[in-house]
Amino acid sequence: MWNGIFEGLARRVVRDGTLNVTMPDGHRFTTGTGAPEFAIRLTDPALPRRIVMTPELALGEGYTEGGLVIEGDDLRGFMGLILRNLWAGHRPRMQLLDNWIRGHARRLGQWNPAPRARRNVAHHYDLSGELYDLFLDADKQYSCAYFRSDEDSLERAQEQKKAHIARKLRLRPGMRVLDIGCGWGGMALTLARDHGARVLGVTLSREQHAVATARAREAGLEDRVEFRLLDYRRVEERFDRIVSVGMFEHVGAPHYDEYFGKIHEILEPEGVALVHTIGRTGPPGVTSSWISKYIFPGGYIPALSEMSAAIERSELVSTDIEVWRLHYAKTLRHWEERFTARIDRARELYDERFCRMWRYYLVTSELAFVFGGQVVFQAQIAHRKDAVPITRDYLYPARPERARVVGAAPATEVAAAP
Whole-angstrom Cα distance, residue 334 to residue 344?
18
Query: In Å, how far are 42, 181, 342, 393 from 134, measured between CA atoms?
Result: 31, 21, 6, 38
236-245 confidence digits (pLDDT tens):
999 999 999 9
3-state SS record for 251-288? CCHHHHHHHHHHHHHHEEEEEEEEEEEEEECCCCCCCC
Q: Identify the helix (H) or strand (E) that includes residue 313.
A: helix 304-313
Which pLDDT score is estimated for 404? 42
Q: What is the per-residue pLDDT for 408?
A: 32
Q: Is the per-residue pLDDT at 108 higher than 90?
A: no
Could you tell me what percent of the chain has a pLDDT over 70?
87
- Ramachandran class of 303: left when φ > 0, alpha when ψ lies in -120 to 50, beta otherwise: beta
User: Which tens digit of pLDDT belongs to each residue from 223-236?
Assistant: 999 999 999 999 99
Average of pLDDT values for 163-173? 97
pTM score, two decimals? 0.89
**Summary mean pLDDT of the chain:** 90
Question: Is it the case that residue 282 has pLDDT exceeding 60?
Answer: yes
367 contacts: CB under 8 Å, gap ≥ 6: 76, 79, 80, 83, 329
Residues 305-342: pLDDT tens digits? 999 999 999 999 999 999 999 999 999 999 999 999 99
| 241-267: pLDDT as tens digits | 999 999 999 999 999 999 999 999 999
pLDDT digits (tens, 9 = 90+) for 352-409: 999 999 999 999 999 999 999 999 999 999 999 999 999 999 999 775 544 344 333 3
Residue 178: strand pairing partners: 200, 242
Rounded CA separation 133/139 (Å)? 9
Percent of the chain at pLDDT > 90 equals: 81
How high is the pLDDT of residue 403?
38
Convert the pLDDT of each residue in 32-64 to its tens digit. 999 999 999 999 999 999 999 999 999 999 999
Q: How far apart are CA 392 and CA 170, in angstroms?
A: 12
Residues 6+ apart with CB under 8 A from 149: none
| Structure confidence at residue 116 as a pLDDT band (50, 70, 90) | low
- At 129, is the pLDDT very low, low, confident or very high (cuts 50, 70, 90)? confident
Rounded Cα–Cα distance for residues 171 and 182 (Å): 18
Angle CA 231–237–243, to nearest 5: 65
pLDDT of residue 106: 54
According to CATH, the topology of domain 114-414 is: Rossmann fold (3.40.50)
Cα distances (Å, whole numbers) of residue 123 to 107, 183, 335: 20, 14, 20
Region 121-126 average pLDDT: 69
- pLDDT higher than threshold 90 for residue 109: no
110 pLDDT higher than 90:
no
Contact between 142 and 166 (Cβ < 8 Å): no
Query: Residue ranges per domain, the chain?
Result: 2-104, 114-414
Sheet holding 28-42, edge to edge: 16-22, 28-42, 68-70
Decide if 134 contacts 335 (C-beta within 8 A).
no
At 394-414, the pLDDT tens digits run 999 775 544 344 333 333 333
